[in-house]
Amino acid sequence: MIKESSIEQFKQIVGKDNVLTSKESLKSYSYDGTTSWIHEPDVVLFPTSTQEISAIMKIANAEKIPVTPRGGGTNVSGGSVPIEGGIVMCFTKMNKIIKIDKENLTATVEPGVVLMDLNMALAREGLFFPPDPQSFLGATMGGIIAENAGGPACVKYGVTKQYILGLEVVLANGDVVNLGGRTLKNVVGYDLMHIFISSEGTLGIISRAELKLNPLPKAKKTIMAVYADVAVAGESVYRVLENGVIPDKIEFLDNWVINRIEEMMPMGLPKDADAVLLFECDGIPESVEKEVEQIVEITKKHGAIDVRVAKDQAEADRYWLARRAGFAAVFGKAATVLAEDVTVPRNKMPDLIRKCKEVAKKYNLEITVLGHAGDGNLHPSILTDINNKEAYDRALKGLDEIIEATVELGGVLSGEHGIGLEKQKFFRRVIDPNVTNLMKGIKQLVDPNNIMNPGKIW
Amino acid sequence: MDNLKELSKIQQYAAQCMKCGFCSFFCPVYQEERTETSVARGKNYLVREILAGRQEFTKEMADIIGKCLLCKRCVVNCPSKTQIDRVVVGARAEMVNKKGLGFIKDFAFRKVMADRKKFGRYVKLAQKFQWMLPKTEGKIRHLPDFIKGLGKRNIPEIADRFLRDMVKEVNKPQDGKAPVMKIGFFSGCAMDFVAPETGLKIIDFLTKKGVEVVYPQDQNCCGAAIYFSGDFETGRKLAEENIKAFEKFDYVVTGCGTCSSTLKDYAKYLSENEDQQKRYDAFAKKVKDLTEFVVDVMKINLEELKLKKEFEGKTATWHDPCHLVRYQNIKDQPRAILKALKGLKFAEMPNADMCCGMGGSFSVYHYDLTKKIADKKMAGIKATNADIVVTACPGCIINLQDNVIRSKMPQKVYHFLELVE
Ligand SMILES: Cc1cc2nc3c(=O)[nH]c(=O)nc-3n(C[C@H](O)[C@H](O)[C@H](O)COP(=O)(O)OP(=O)(O)OC[C@H]3O[C@@H](n4cnc5c(N)ncnc54)[C@H](O)[C@@H]3O)c2cc1C
Ligand code: SF4
Ligand code: SF4
Ligand code: SF4
C-alpha cells in the first residue's frame, strides 16, 4: 500500500488528472499482451517531463515503492505487469517527437511516442526508423528500447539497439543521466547505454532517446513462396542469403496459421501448403528488380512449389496483412496460448520446426509456428487452456522440450519479447549463474532498493 | 452469469480480444485521453471482469462504458475482429437492466423521443424561444439547453414546420406514369424537425425519377439514441412500430446514414427470440440508405445527374459517417455520385473516415472531447481547400457545421442530395 501522503505528493507533481486510483483504472493497468499475467498496481501515474519522473522516483525510492514503467502495454512477457503492486508509470501522455534532424538522419523523442506515429512523421521527411516490431500500432519507443524490439526487417536492418545513439535515463534515486550521444561513433568509457537497452524497465526509466534513422527506400517488392514441406522452406531461407541476396524481410507461416488466416479473411493463400515464406526486397528500383529475379530463381530451384511476385503494392499489402493477422489467428483460437519466441541459428530452423511437430504429436498438442525466418526467430505457440489442468500440464511439458531443443541447437530463449515473467523459469535453467550474478550486481548498483520493475527477469 | 442476461449474449465477443493494443491507434477517444479505460482493450477487459464476477456496475464503470462513440474504428482494424460495439452496447443494456435508465445518464428526453408526437411538441417549444438567442450564421443559432442538453453550441434552428406536416402520405411519380418502383420513406428525427427541406428534396428527386414515395405518418424514431444507450425495451417498441409502419413496402429508404444503419441492426441488438430475429432480419433486407438506393438499386445513370447552379465550380469533400462506412460498408456510392456531378470538383480529405466526434448522445455528455475530435476533422477539411463539405447523415451535418463555425472556417455542410438539381 502507498501512503495517502505520497499520493498527494504525486498529485502535486503530475496534476490530479494524471493520478489514477479508482478500482476500474487499476484493473485496466493490471495486464499486458500475455494471457496469464495479471496484477493490479496501487496507483497509475502519467508523467509528462523528465523533471516529473525524477521527482516521482525520489519519493518512490525513499518510500521503497515498486515502480513499473509502461508504454503501450503490448509486450508479451509480463514485462509491464506490476507484479508487486506499487506504481505503474505510464508514458502514453509523454509522447512528443522533439526533433527530426534530416541532415544527420536522427530524431529525438519522448518515451511515449508510438512507433507508427513516429514513422508517419518521418515518412513526411523521407525517413524511417528501421526496426519494425509488428506491434507498431501500439508499442511506444520506451517499450521498444526497453525490450530491444525487432521485427521482420531485422534480416537486413538489425534490431533496435543498432539504432539508438543516446538515452536520457532517470535512475531509481531520481538522478538523471545522459548516456551515449548524438554521433555514430562513440568510445568514451564503458558502453553503459546498451545496458539499459533490453533492461525491461528494471534499471531505470528511459525519458528521452536519440534515434538513428535511414532514408526511406525508393522501391519495395514482395514475393510469396509456397512449400509442400516445412523443412524445404527452411532451407530456402539460407540458400537465398548464401547467394548474396539480402531481402529486408523473410517471414514464415505454417499450414495451421495459413488456414486460420484464410478463415478470418480469405485472401487466396494456398490452404494445402505446408509452409509459406514471404520475402520483401527494398532499395533502389534496379537492384530490387534484380534481387526479386534471383529469389524467384533460387526458391524454385530449392523446392518451392509455387512462387508469386506481388504485382502491386495492394497485393503486397494483403500478404503482409495476413502475416500480421497470424498473431490474432493464434490468440483467437484458444483460452490460453503459450507463445514462444525462441531463436536458433538460421540453418537450424528446419530442425526446430520438425521438433515442434514431434512434440505436438507426442503430447497430443496443437502447436502452430510462425515467425521471422530470416533471423531464425520463431514463434511456436501451444494452444491450451490454463483451467484444464491435464491439458495444461501436457502443454507445459511440450514447451519444456521445445526450449531444450532450442538450447541444444545453439539458440536462445527469447529473440525479441524479453524475459519478463513469462520466461523466468527457463532463464534460470539456461543462463550461466555467473552471468546472472553479474546482472544482479549491476542491478544492485543502480537500484539498491530494488524498486525498478521488481520480480522480473531472473 | 444467469443474472447477466445481456452480457452473457456478448460474452463470445468479449472473449475474442487478445489484448494486443492495436485499437489504441484508431480510437478517437483514446487519441485524446490516452488512458486504457478510453480504449476498446480496457473497456473489453472490464466487461470480462463483470462477467467473471469481479467487477460491479459502479458509477465509474457506467462512465467508462458511456465514453465510446460506437464509431467502430477499433472493430474494423482489430486483428481478431473483436466486436467492441456489441460489447459496449450489451454492457449498457445490462446496466440499464440492473440499475435503471437514470443510472447511466439522466436521459429525460429518452422517453420523450420515443413518442414522436410528444417529441415534436417539445421541439416546437424550443423553437418559440429561439428568437431570444443571438443568431450566429444563417440558420444556425444557440438554442436553450433544456431540450438539447447540448450545452452552448451552434446547432441548427428548429424548422418552422416539420416534414411530416408538409408532405403528403402518397407522392406519385411526377411524370404521371405508373411508378417504376414504390418505396416507403423513413425521414428520421433530424430530417423531420431540423432539415425538412432535405426530406422534401429527396422526395422530389425520387418522384422525378419515377418512384412512388410513401411517407407513413406512423413511423417513429429509428431508435439509435435509445437502444445504443442500452434501453432495449424502448428500442424494441420502436422497432415493432417501424416494422409495422413499413409492412407493405419492398424498400424502406432513408437519407439519414445513422437511421439506415440503426434500422438494419435491429436484429443484431434487439432480437430476443427466433420470431423477432426472423422479422428483424426481413426488415433489414428492405432498408436501403439513399446512397445505395440511388446507385445499387435504382442504378441511376450518374452521368445524367445535374449539379445545382450554385455549386458550379466549387470543390467538395466527402465525410464518411461511421454508420455508413463502417456499419454498412458504404463508401464508394457517395463518391461515385459526387465525382459524376459535372462542374463540381472533388477533393478527398486525408481523414475522411474518421468519426466527427458526435456519437449521438456522446456529444451531449462529452462535448469537450467532441470538440477535440472534431478539430482533427476540421484540419482534414482545411487541407483539401474545399468550399463545401458533403455527407449523408443529419447528425454529422449538425456536428460538422457546429465545428466549422466554431473553427471560423468558411465551409458549409450539405446533405449530398442538396447538390443535385
Ligand atoms: C501482436 C503483437 C505483435 C508483436 N510483435 C513483435 C515483434 O514483431 N517484435 C518484437 O520485438 N516485439 C513484438 N511484440 C512485443 C511488444 O510489442 C514489444 O515488446 C514492444 O516493444 C513493447 O512496447 P510497449 O510500448 O508496448 O511496452 P510495454 O509493453 O508497456 O513495456 C514493455 C517493457 O518495457 C518497459 N518499459 C516501457 N517503457 C519504458 C520506459 N520509458 N523506460 C524503461 N522501461 C520501459 C516495461 O516496464 C516493460 O518491461 C508484439 C506484441 C504483440 C501484442
Ligand atoms: S485491437 Fe482488438 S484484439 Fe487488439 S486489444 Fe484492441 S480489441 Fe483487443
Ligand atoms: S467504437 Fe470508436 S470510440 Fe468506441 S472504443 Fe472503438 S474506436 Fe473507440
Ligand atoms: S437516429 Fe437520430 S436522426 Fe435518426 S431518427 Fe433517431 S434521433 Fe433521428
B16-47 pLDDT, tens digit each: 898 999 999 999 999 999 999 999 999 999 99
pLDDT in tens, B267-293: 999 999 999 999 999 999 999 999 999
For residue B274, which amino acid is it? E
Are the beta carbons of B79 and A114 separated by less than 8 Å? Answer: no
Cβ contacts of B215 within 8 Å, gap of 6 or more: B164, B167, B168, B169, B170, B171, B184, B185, B187, B203
Query: What is the pLDDT at residue B341?
Result: 96
0.95 surpassed by complex ipTM: no
> Which residue type sits at B222?
C
Compute the mean pLDDT over every residue in chain B, rounded to the nearest whole number.
87
Residue of chain A whose alpha carbon sits nearest to that of B50: A24
CB-CB under 8 Å, B37 with A95? no
Min CA distance, A137 vs chain B (Å)?
A: 5
Question: Ligand 3: distance of its center to the CA of A157 in Å?
Answer: 35
Task: For residues A206 and A223, state if they share a domain.
Answer: no
- Give the distance from CA A101 to its chain's centroid: 26
Query: What letter would DSSP give residue B294?
Result: I
Q: Same structural domain for residues A202 and A262?
A: no
Judged by CB atoms closer than 8 Å, whether chains meet at B19 and A31 is answered as yes
Same domain? For A434 and A371 the reply is: yes
The separation between CA A383 and the C-alpha centre of its own chain, rounded to angstroms, equals 20
The pLDDT score that the predictor gives to residue A375 is: 85
Do residues B246 and B184 touch, judged by C-beta distance below 8 A?
A: yes
- pLDDT at B354 exceeding the cut of 80: yes
What is the reported pLDDT for A423?
Answer: 83
State what percent of residues in chain B have pLDDT above 90. Answer: 68
Domain boundary residue among A197, A215, A233? A215
Nearest CB neighbour to A27, from listed B16, B55, B81: B55
pLDDT of residue B172: 95
CB within 8 Å: A328 and B20? yes
Q: Are residues A85 and A134 in the same domain?
A: no
Question: Residue A324 sits in a domain of what CATH number?
Answer: 3.30.70.2190
Q: What is the mean pLDDT of residues B66-85?
A: 92
Residues A338 and A415 in one domain: yes
CATH T-level assignment (fold) for domain B302-419: Rossmann fold (3.40.50)
Low-confidence ranges of chain A (pLDDT < 50): none
Beta strands in A51-180 (DSSP E): 67-70, 87-90, 97-101, 106-109, 127-128, 164-171, 176-180
Domain boundaries, chain B: 5-99, 101-300, 302-419
Closest by CA position to B285, among listed B257, B255, B250: B250
pLDDT of residue B129: 45
| Nearest ligand 3 atom, CA B26 | 7
Is A453 among the domain residues?
A: no
Residues A230 and A210 in one domain: no
Distance from Cα B235 to the centre of ligand 3, integer Å: 22
pLDDT in tens, A41-64: 999 999 999 999 999 999 999 999
Tell me whether A95 touches chain B (CB under 8 Å). Answer: yes
Asked if the structure places residue A400 within a domain, the reply is yes
- How far apart are the C-alpha atoms of A136 and A134, rounded to whole Å? 5
**Which chain A residues in 283-322 lie under 8 Å from chain B, judged by CB atoms?**
none
Q: How far apart are the first and last CA of chain B?
A: 57
- Distance (Å, rounded) from C-alpha B296 to C-alpha B294? 6
Please name which ligand lies nearest the alpha carbon of A72: 1
Task: Give the closest ligand to the alpha carbon of residue B32.
Answer: 3
Q: Which of A215, A230, A259 corresponds to the end of one domain?
A: A215
Say whether both A78 and A163 belong to one domain.
no
Q: How many whole angstroms separate alpha carbon A115 and alpha carbon B296? A: 41
* C-alpha separations of B13 from A35, B5, B90, B270 in Å: 16, 15, 10, 16
Count Cβ atoms within 10 A of the Cβ of residue B157 and give its class: 0-12 exposed, 13-18 middle, 19 or more buried.
Answer: middle
Q: Is there a common fold for B5-99 and B302-419?
A: no
Domain membership flag for residue A316:
yes
Between A229-243, A308-322, B131-145, B186-200, the lowest mean confidence (pLDDT) is in: B131-145
Q: Do A134 and A67 lie in a common domain?
A: no
Most confident range (mean pLDDT) of A368-372, A375-379, B306-310, B399-403 is B306-310
The tally of domains found in chain A comes to 4
Report pLDDT for A3.
93
> Which ligand has the nearest atom to the CA of A324?
1
Do B16 and A24 lie within an 8 Å CB cutoff?
no
Q: Is B18 within 8 Å of B80 (Cβ atoms)?
A: yes
Domain that holds residue A246: 217-332
Specify the 3-state DSSP secondary structure of B111: helix
- Whether A430 is in a domain gets the answer yes
How far is residue A11's CA from residue A55's CA, in Å, rounded to a whole number? Answer: 11
Q: Which residues contact B66 (CB under 8 A, 6 or more apart)?
A: B92, B104, B105, B362, B365
Protein fold of B5-99: Fumarate Reductase Iron-sulfur Protein; Chain B, domain 2 (1.10.1060)
B47 CA to centre of ligand 3 in angstroms: 15
